[in-house]
Amino acid sequence: MFPKAWREARAQEEFRGKASAPANIAWVKYWGKKGHQLPANPSVSLTLDKCRTHTDLVATPASELSVQLVFEGAEQPAFAEKIKKYLTSLSTELPALARFSYSIRSENTFPHSSGIASSASSQAALALLLGGLLAKNSNTELDLPGVGNLARLGSGSACRSLFGGFVSWGTSPALAGSSDEFATQVTDVHESFLHTRDAILIVSSKEKEVSSRQGHTQMSAHPYAAARVLEAQAHYTATLAALKTGDWERAGEIMEADALSLHALMMTSRPGYILLEPGSLEIIRLVRLFRRESGVPVYFTIDAGPNMHLIYPDEAHAKVEAFVRHELLRHTEQGAGVIWDQLGAGPR
């Protein structure tokens, strides 16, 4: 639900704004939808710092909706068309949005070919700007749940990019104030998680064969759908508890299980598909071996793709860096390598 003032807003004033939003990596994944872009299960993610999208928007009142998009210096009519569709769908509830001409310039801080999904950071940045436009045209303050709703309707996981640190999305009895419509920050976090790092190993930067959208859709008829929801709920509750007590071992064990579950669900969909590459499997094996032999608390998670995220506390950085350089780099794509990121403070 959007604020009443936004629903009644009129397109009167030009809006100019800049926003920058980070990417996020889920420790417990959102996989499968219900209703209108609502998550089948609660999820929790770490907001990144360096991987971000910067967006500039100029929106001028107009008789008809139009969108021009320049991404990293080049005009992108296909992307512009997608944003136009998104705005048109929003305009049933927020009619003012269809009465602007939008000029959007956007860039990512992470390389194009890094294989990192930019939908969360870009949709979060756009949602912040649309929220600003609606606030200005209704003489109200920026409404964060409203912005969360705008982000979620663009790309589900984008609503988690609106906060720093650890962020939850999806209704759960384990977190007061949690909602399916927007994300909330997880504030009860032990200090040992406050300097979490994420080394992103680019195994392949090729565009993936099956989109997340298709993957979510396949979950509705998936033979393991009900079991997945129960499992994700348990993973979510246990992760919040581990974040609170500073239990890296438990959080890590769940994060790995949840990532492998996501990929197992893809493999057992009809038709099934595999996004992992041989290099991803080799990295999984080596991370587990290194952890067992060295005692360094480094764990992996994987998004909907072949690239590997190594999650570890800041104190372990020197050891993890040496391990990555000596043993893992050879399993990454030539020229793409590693993005060294960490917990970030959220959008600007």
Task: Pick the piece of the chain touching ligand PMV (CB under 6 A) from 24-32, 57-65, 99-107, 248-256.
Answer: 24-32
Identity (one letter) of the amino acid at 130? L
Residue 262 Cβ, how far from ligand PMV at the closest point, in Å? 6
What's the min distance (Å) between Cβ of 5 and ligand PMV?
Answer: 28
d(CA 253, CA 325): 24
Binding part of the chain for ligand PMV, among 72-80, 155-163, 185-193, 314-322 by CB under 6 A, reads: 155-163
Residue among 41, 43, 137, 204 that touches ligand PMV (CB under 6 A) = 43
| Nearer Cβ to ligand PMV (29/228) | 29
The answer to whether the Cα torsion of 110, 112, 116, 120 is positive or negative is positive
Residues 287-306 that bind ligand PMV (CB under 6 A): 303-304
| CA–CA separation, 24 and 167 (whole Å) | 9
Residue closer to ligand PMV by CB (options 48, 130) is 48
Burial grade of 50 (CB within 10 A; 0-12, 13-18, 19 or more): middle
Largest CA distance in the chain: 66
Instruction: Between 123 and 138, name the residue whose CB sits nearer to ligand PMV.
Output: 123
Nearer of residues 305 and 313 to ligand PMV, judged by Cβ: 305
In the complex with ligand PMV, the residue whose CB is nearer, 137 or 218, is 218
CA angle 312, 315, 318 (to 5 degrees): 85
Q: Is 157 in the site for ligand PMV (CB under 6 A)?
A: yes
Do 232 and 43 meet the contact criterion of CB atoms below 8 Å apart? yes
CA distances from 310 to 135, 166, 171, 298 (A): 39, 16, 28, 6
Residues 9, 19, 26, 150: which binds ligand PMV (CB under 6 A)? 26
| Cβ atoms within 10 Å, residue 187 | 11
Does 119 bind ligand PMV (CB under 6 A)? Our answer is yes
Distance CA 68, CA 29 (A): 33
Mapping DSSP onto H, E and C, the string for 47-93 reads: EEEEEEEEEEEEEEECCCCEEEEEECCEECHHHHHHHHHHHHHHCCC
Q: How far is the CB of 192 from ligand PMV (least distance, A)?
A: 23
Pick the closer one to ligand PMV by CB: 26 or 133: 26
Our finding on whether 218 is near ligand PMV (CB under 6 A) is: no
**Nearer to ligand PMV among residue 46 and residue 242 (C-beta):** 46
Q: Does 29 bind ligand PMV (CB under 6 A)?
A: yes
Q: How far is CA 126 from CA 9, 105, 114, 293, in A?
A: 18, 10, 21, 45
Q: Give how far Cα 277 sits from Cα of 250, 273, 308, 337, Å.
A: 27, 12, 10, 15
Does residue 198 touch ligand PMV according to CB under 6 A? no
Degrees (nearest 5) of the Cα angle 207, 126, 306? 20
Closer to ligand PMV by CB, 96 or 127: give it: 127
Tell me 101's DSSP state: E
Give residues 237-276 in contact with ligand PMV (rule: CB under 6 A).
262
Number of residues this chain uses to bind ligand PMV (CB under 6 A):
12
Position among 30, 110, 163, 300 found at the interface with ligand PMV (CB under 6 A): 30
Least separation in angstroms between residue 254's CB and ligand PMV is 14
Q: Residues interacting with ligand PMV, by CB under 6 A?
A: 26, 29-30, 43, 119, 155-157, 212, 262, 303-304
